[in-house]
Amino acid sequence: MAQGMCFWSRNAIRSCPKCNDVKPIIVVGGGPAGSNCARAIALLGYPVVLLEGCLARKTQQIETCSASVRRTLENVCGSLPPTVLGDLDTFHSTWGSSEPEARRFHFWQAGSGARISRAGLDLSLLDAAERSGATVLRGHRARTGRSEGADWIVAVENQAGTFELSGCFVVEAMGGIARSPFQPGNSRIFTDNLICLSADIPDIESDNAIAAVEAVPEGWWFTTALDGRRTVSMFTDADLLPAPMAWRDWFTSVLSRTHHITSIIPNAVPKRIVATSARTSVRRRVWRNSWLAIGDSARTVDPLSGGGIGRALEDGQEGAEAVFRAVVKGETATLRSFAVQTVERFIQAETIRRLYYCNEGRWQFAPFWRRRVEALTAASGQPITGPDA
């Protein structure tokens, strides 16, 4: 904050730091939403502590993003190494037809999209937050939090034990966990049962890799590659899977019946299958007093329509500005607006999701697709089928 300037108002959550000790804003979770939020708060001139539970990411999944999101990432992190970010010029989609459609980023957006190592990106975003002035505590996990008057007392666990951290506001960016350590009674509303089975396989052609999605009767596939590794993911409903001990055989069998994905990675036999929840959900309450949920902590959206990294970065920036105005100026209108907008964006993503699934009409009687047609019918009040139904 520039010398001589004071933004604090009489109604602010915290008094002016020139007069009293200021307790920091605590951001919990070092993914794209949490890191960008902490970075933005630090750049606004308020003390912020970012708690990131993991010292190293266990999963090494590779994701994709659009050209506009890539530019945002490069503005936040600076130049990213080729082990973290690679060009993505064309995206292939086998959806509604057995023939893949190629979509070039340069045609519909200015510039290339990107293939991204999530583990490397998360570390880069943590570093960016630290460079901006945020206090980043790696390997520190928030276990519980309680509100005491105008303060939050957060129990933090690290390798040495547990200690308490006091702050004036908590921003929760811990991902799509069902139970919040700060708002334990604030449950989530789930709208599907989607799960992702993912494998990591070697790919010597990854420098020239494409990204692709392909619909199959059991659900849909996604694949892309970077730095000699390829992520292959299958999205289906959890109750349609066999027992976990049979996942690997089932995964390989369904993969072998794809048309386009299997041509990219012929004879792929994954050594290990990792299952993660991909359920669409929204928290019943996004904001309350001096607590705010952002990113996947607020809502999780089907990867088919969710915007992923870009949505998280946007949440982090906008959430930071809303929290800063509440803490410094005592203005809660921006927080309320952010919470309402979060729900509105969730509803919009739900609409897009239903329309995307509707465009695949080849297997409308297969359980996975029938459920999505029924959900669209229930939402619209009239039957809607895909173009090839």
Q: What string of pLDDT tens digits covers the 389 residues of the chain?
A: 333 334 444 445 555 444 456 899 999 999 999 999 999 999 999 999 999 988 766 666 899 998 899 999 999 999 999 999 999 988 899 998 888 888 876 655 567 889 999 999 999 999 999 999 999 999 999 999 999 988 999 999 999 999 999 999 999 999 988 789 999 999 999 999 999 999 988 876 655 578 999 999 999 999 999 988 889 999 999 999 999 999 999 999 999 999 889 888 877 778 889 999 999 999 999 999 999 999 999 999 988 865 789 999 999 999 999 999 999 999 999 999 999 999 999 999 888 888 889 889 899 899 999 998 887 777 655 443 333 32
User: What is the predicted pLDDT for the residue at 385?
Assistant: 39
Q: How far apart are CA 297 and CA 286, in angstroms?
A: 9
User: What is the predicted pLDDT for the residue at 179?
Assistant: 86
CB 374 within 8 A of CB 110: no
Q: How far apart are CA 60 and CA 149, in angstroms?
A: 41
Q: What 3-state DSSP class applies to 219? A: strand
CB 63 within 8 A of CB 222: no
For residue 109, how far is the Cα from the chain centroid? 22
Q: How far apart are CA 322 and CA 287, in angstroms?
A: 11
β-sheet bridge partners, residue 141: 157
Structure token digits, residue 245: 């001990």
- Residue 342: which of 270, 279, 284, 286 has the closest Cα? 286
CB 115 within 8 A of CB 207: no
User: What is the predicted pLDDT for the residue at 381?
Assistant: 53
Q: What percentage of the chain reaches a pLDDT higher than 90?
A: 64
User: What is the predicted pLDDT for the residue at 304?
Assistant: 80
Q: How far apart are CA 249 and CA 239, in angstroms?
A: 17
User: What is the predicted pLDDT for the residue at 19?
Assistant: 40
Q: How far apart are CA 35 and CA 136, in angstroms?
A: 9
Q: How far apart are CA 305 and CA 299, in angstroms?
A: 13
Helices (H), 9-117: 32-43, 67-77, 105-108
Q: What 3-state DSSP class applies to 236? A: strand
